Structure 1
Amino acid sequence: MTVPLSVLDLAPIDRGRSVGESVAGSVALAQAAEAHGYRRVWYAEHHNMPSIASSATSVLIAHVAARTSSIRLGAGGVMLPNHSPLVVAEQFGTLASIHPGRIDLGLGRAPGSDQTTMRALRRDPAAADTFPRDVQELQGYLSGRSLVPGVQAVPGAGTDVPLYVLGSSLFGAHLAAALGLPYAFASHFAPQALTTAVATYRREFQPSEQLDAPYVLAGVNVLAGEDAGEVAEHLAAVRRLRAVAIFGRGRPMTDAEADLLLEAGAGAQVDAMLTHTAAGTPEQVREQLEDFAALADADELVTAHAAPTTAARVRSVELTAQAVSAVPA
């Protein structure tokens, strides 16, 4: 398999663990990814989610970057309507100035939260409508060719932090193609429009200063382990965690309560979200990833290792790389 591998780390807060322990786990995961030839590690902006510690995405990137040496790190992504483009340019311009050649900036237009949290973020519900213009404004700050007269990003101007458009629908495909940017599809949780969106992006792509040909990154869940029984247990735990996150109304649940949620109808939605999941022994995972890369017409796979403990996630990263011979950056 020649398609390079990357990692999406949601910085999960495992049951019974603290946020500090979760962040230490993210450092260990990035160090394992670096040691095993993955191209990049991305962190996603989420808010008000008890099981995810990546809300302050740029801060987490800075912490991990200081504890790794070569792997690319970035946002997958920053939810741009939650922020001013200038502030994002300053944050990622600072990161790029400290860690030159290692910082990516993926951009999404979803809130990364529920409606109540969106209001707490002081987000304008109509902010998503200006997403294309905000991407271009941000691009101007980072290139040093600001679209806002008299305003420059300091730090940021001239860092040319590479931008990526994230999406799970045709909107992102059209925008990434029009702006000549790489397109990252969130098929690890929203698989429905994958093939249509990728085909649209490739067909409509217009070359830009950043990119002369289309480039597709596709998300895929991975659970790799030496023992098939253990992998099955991990997959069951992932299904429970997804059910509680979506339908648990913010309260902790026992495994038995989560199983009742799954049996009551949550299971169908959870399984649909997990459509693109490579699970099993390293050999099985390699075959499944090869099939997925072909289906997605992907130039790069962004693997989300979803096992319920840090140790299992790190081992999954290691086994997957060994199985598919990931190409170093």
Structure 2
Amino acid sequence: MIPLSILDLVPVREGGTVAEALRDAGDHAAAAERAGYHRFWVAEHHATPGVAGGAAAVVLAHIGHCTRTIRIGSGGIMLPNHNPFVIAEQFGTLDGLFPGRIDLGLGRAPGAAGILAQALRKDLHRAAEYFPQDVVELRALFTGDVDLPITATPGRGADVQLWMLGSSLFGAQLAARLGLPYAFASHFAPDHLDAALATYRQQFRPSAALEQPYAMAAMTVIAAETDAEAELLASSQEQSFVRLRSGDPGKLPPPVKDYRASLPMEAQAMLERLATARAVGSPATVRDRMARFIERTQADEIIISGATFDPAARIRSLDLVMEALGGPDNK
């Protein structure tokens, strides 16, 4: 079995608080570690009422203290929102706290609406244009293999594994050129998955960090005892997705029976687009759909995302998924 990992957006439930979301994320990470998952990532999102992971490095410090061995990291840090030196210090600090466990996934999108640029006092469009140079600078701050006028402390010499994230060919090409592992966000943007993976593998150049291409693909995965129960659980995340794409983001809502049938055709089609990177159902259903996805993509690792309104159902899901695929091979 290939390694399985977790992407947790630290969802804030309707009627819940940020404090509860952070507590639940810690419980989720500890459960993932017990079950044998390889990594536990959180993602930077801003100005989103239902997501409590905006300060990703701070959340990871919390996650690190809730776990002992699982790799933890960002999926990802949106580098145009920051400068490389500050991120080097933050993740160098995390490596000092949790040596040999830290991943730093880097994305180019700002992670929120245009109002974020004003709040950050940055020209995010221009910052995105400098993304490749900023990635190179950040790597040099960790490795020290380029003569820079300043040393990041903490940062220099930190054992931080850099990843390139993407949902288009741009990230695949940059990851290949820099010899970095690559993670594709197919759980919410599956259209360019096959082309991106092919581009990454064809153009990959070995680096000091990585001799051969290593690709991870994301899936929405929720398992329960029956297909019907799993689909009911998944309706919470589907409601959030539809609201987000409709310009009305909110907290994670309770599940709704037959939610898709209540939607207009346009919204149903929007959700159906995600089906190629989705495995929701009983353990047998999840096993079949994930096996077909892995065969199709030839991914080296799968990272799964799937928020449920009931935190206990999410923990039960990750146990069922691991059991369905035959248990961990990385303990």
- Residue 290 of structure 2 corresponds to which residue in structure 1? 289
Q: Identify the range of structure 1 (159-168 vs 302-311) with the bigger mean alpha-carbon deviation.
A: 302-311
Conserved 8 A contact 1:146-1:152: no
CA distance in 2, matches of 1:286, 1:15: 31
Is residue 326 from structure 1 mapped to residue 302 from structure 2 by the alignment?
no
Superposed CA deviations along residues 118-171 of structure 1, whole A, max 9, x for unmatched, are 32122312111111110000000111235532x011001001311000001110
Between 293-302 and 114-123, the greater mean CA deviation after superposition: 114-123
Question: Where does residue 180 of structure 1 map in the other structure?
Answer: 179
Equivalent position of 1:66 in the other structure: 65
Counterpart code for 2:42: Y
TM-score by length of 1: 0.94
One-letter amino acid of the counterpart of residue 326, structure 1: P
8 Å CA contact 2:31, 2:315 repeated in 1: yes
* Contact 1:39–1:327 (8 Å) recurs in 2: no
Unpaired runs of at least 5, structure 2: none
1:317 paired with 2:318, answer: yes
Counterparts of 2:250 and 2:293 in 1: how far apart (Å)? 35
Give the 3 Å change call, closer, same or farther, for CA 195–311 of structure 1 in structure 2.
same
Does structure 1 conserve the Cα–Cα contact (< 8 Å) formed by 2:41 and 2:75? yes
Counterpart residue identity of residue 22, structure 1: A
Any conservation in 1 of the 2:240–2:249 contact (CA below 8 Å)?
no
Q: Give 1:189's aligned residue.
A: 188
Deviation string, structure 1 residues 3-22 (Cα, Å, up to 9, x no partner): 11000001011121111111
CA contact (8 A) 2:201 2:213 kept: yes
**Match of 1:115?**
114
Aligned sequence identity (%) = 44
Q: Deviations over 1:52-110 (max 9, x none)?
A: 11100000000010111000000000000100000000000000011101110000000
**Is 1:167–2:166 an aligned residue pair?**
yes
Q: For residues 22-41 of structure 1, what are the structure 2 equivalents within 5 Å?
A: 22-41=21-40
- Is 2:45 aligned against 1:51? no
- Equivalence map 1:247-262=2 (5 Å): 247-250=246-249, 262=263
Flag the 1:132–1:288 CA change in 2: closer, same or farther, 3 A: same
Change (3 A) 1:261 1:45: farther
Matching residue of 1:299: 300
Closer, same or farther in 2 for the Cα pair 1:250/1:321, shift >3 Å?
A: closer
Change (3 A) 1:242 1:95: same
CA distance in 1, matches of 2:271, 2:31: 28
- The whole-number CA distance in structure 1 between the counterparts of 2:38 and 2:281 is 23
Cα distance in 1 between the residues matched to 2:66 and 2:236: 30
Q: Secondary structure at the match of 1:127?
A: helix
2: CA distance between counterparts of 1:248 and 1:179? 36
Q: Is the 8 A contact 2:165 2:182 kept in 1?
A: yes
Q: Which secondary structure state, in structure 2, belongs to the residue aligned with residue 275 of structure 1?
A: helix
CA RMSD, Structure 1 to Structure 2 (Å)? 1.9
Q: 1:326 to 1:73 in 2, by over 3 A?
A: same
Q: What amino acid does structure 2 have at the position aligned with 1:140?
A: A
User: What secondary structure, in the 3-state scheme, does the structure 1 residue paired with 2:160 have?
Assistant: coil
Q: Give me the whole-angstrom Cα distance separating, in 1, the residues matched to 2:57 and 2:250.
A: 28
**Match for 2:303: what amino acid?**
V
TM-score of the superposed pair, with normalisation by structure 2: 0.94
Q: CA deviation at 1:251?
A: 6.0
- Residue identity in the other structure for 2:282: T
Change (3 A) 1:48 1:274: farther
Report the equivalent of 1:202: 201
Aligned length: 326
8 Å CA contact 2:287–2:324 kept in 1: the answer is: yes
Contact 2:163 2:180 in 1 (8 A): yes
How far, CA to CA, are the matches of 2:280 and 2:274 in structure 1?
A: 14
> Does the aligned pair in 1 maintain the 2:227–2:285 contact within 8 Å?
no
Letter in structure 2 aligned against 1:9: D
Match of residue 141 from structure 1: 141
Residue 74 of structure 1 aligns to which amino acid in structure 2? Answer: G
Structure 1 runs not aligned, ≥5 long: none
Residues 243 and 262 in structure 1, CA contact (< 8 A), matched pair in contact too: no
> Residue 184 of structure 1 aligns to a residue in which SS?
strand
Deviation string 1:181-229 (CA, Å, 9 cap, x unpaired) is 0000000100000011001100110000000000000000001001322
- Equivalent residue letter for 2:280: A
